[in-house]
């Protein structure tokens, strides 16, 4: 993998970053500046719970041409009060334009006892997206069967979006694509033993969008450290290597995919 990147406007989009965690800190401006150096000019911000809505909107207000809010209730934030939290999130839609419902979905890695609540919250938010003609951004961890069950149940021409931080196998990738979803590919594709590289190698670039999930899941050579949206360049380079094309080609195709999906 190339690591000596020349500063260049690649016109890349980070479709999933929590860079808003740094709002109110000098780190936000520093990290945004590094993004701009590489032409990472658009970033999509998913909240995870009710308190994070304010940070998402504050960041988007500071960078209105670059940061785009998405709202939803993360499955790890689903508990017995999920209905009240969903009501608050839905009311926040009037505060700012949002570009997707997310991140939403099912997570059975951290907690399995809330599965029925997670399923119901997922269904409700999918219906919001259909009503508003917005994409959904799916968080799926240890839960492909459960997520696909609901997507199959609610599948129609209004259902589309991104499988965020996709880590599935080729069969699951093709199933998601067939349902009308793009695959959000992040730092895991650079991990030698993850196996995601072989999946990405065997799917079309038209089915991929790029993401960092910053500050999580930093790509090699930063694995184990805090991730940054500017590290998207390493993810783009890895995918370019896998498909044997230039990084400019990756930028061209994945940015077009993201712009069409988010309608920007």
8 A C-beta contact, residue 254 and residue 210:
yes
14 forms bridges with which residues in the sheet?
43
- Which pLDDT score is estimated for 6? 55
> Is residue 2 classed exposed, middle or buried when 0-12, 13-18 and 19+ CB atoms within 10 A define those classes?
exposed
- Which pLDDT score is estimated for 205? 98
Is domain 12-262 given the CATH code 3.40.50.1370 in the classification? no
- Which pLDDT score is estimated for 9? 75
**Cα–Cα distances in Å, from 72 out to 31, 61, 86, 220, 258?**
24, 19, 8, 29, 19
| Tokens matching residue 134 | 């917005």
- Which pLDDT score is estimated for 68? 98
Distance CA 99, CA 84 (A): 22
pTM of the model: 0.96
N- to C-terminal Cα distance for the chain? 31
- Which pLDDT score is estimated for 2? 44
Ordered by start, the domain boundaries in the chain are 12-262
Per-residue pLDDT of the chain (264 residues; tens, 9 = 90+): 344 555 567 899 999 999 999 999 999 999 999 999 999 999 999 999 999 999 999 999 999 999 999 999 999 999 999 999 999 999 999 999 999 999 999 999 998 999 999 999 999 999 999 999 999 999 999 999 999 999 999 999 999 999 999 999 999 999 999 999 999 999 999 999 999 999 999 999 999 999 999 999 999 999 999 999 999 999 999 999 999 999 999 999 999 999 999 999
3-state secondary structure 64-106: CCCEEEEECCCHHHCCCCHHHHHHHHHHHCCCCCCCCEEEEEE
């Amino acid at each position: 993998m190339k690591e000596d990147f020349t500063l260049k406007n690649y016109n890349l989009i980070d479709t999933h970053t929590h860079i808003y965690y740094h709002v109110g800190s000098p780190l936000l401006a520093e990290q945004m500046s590094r993004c701009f150096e590489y032409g990472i000019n658009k970033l999509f911000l998913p909240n995870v719970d009710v308190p994070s809505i304010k940070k998402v909107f504050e960041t988007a207000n500071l960078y209105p041409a670059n940061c785009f809010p998405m709202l939803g209730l993360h499955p790890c934030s689903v508990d017995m009060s999920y209905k009240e939290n969903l009501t608050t999130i839905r009311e926040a839609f009037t505060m700012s334009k949002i570009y997707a419902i997310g991140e939403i979905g099912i997570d059975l890695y951290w907690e399995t006892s809330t599965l029925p609540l997670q399923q119901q919250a997922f269904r409700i938010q999918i219906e919001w997206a259909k009503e508003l003609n917005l994409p959904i951004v799916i968080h799926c961890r240890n839960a492909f069967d459960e997520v696909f069950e609901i997507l199959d149940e609610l599948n129609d021409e209004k259902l589309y979006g991104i499988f965020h931080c996709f880590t599935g196998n080729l069969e699951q990738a093709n199933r998601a694509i067939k349902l009308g979803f793009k695959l959000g590919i992040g730092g895991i594709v650079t991990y030698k033993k993850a196996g995601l590289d072989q999946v990405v190698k065997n799917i079309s670039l038209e089915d991929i969008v790029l993401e960092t999930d910053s500050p999580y899941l930093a790509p090699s050579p930063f694995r184990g450290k805090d991730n940054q949206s500017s590290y998207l360049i390493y993810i783009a380079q890895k995918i370019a290597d896998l498909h044997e094309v230039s990084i400019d080609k990756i930028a061209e195709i994945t940015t077009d995919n993201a712009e069409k999906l988010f309608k920007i």
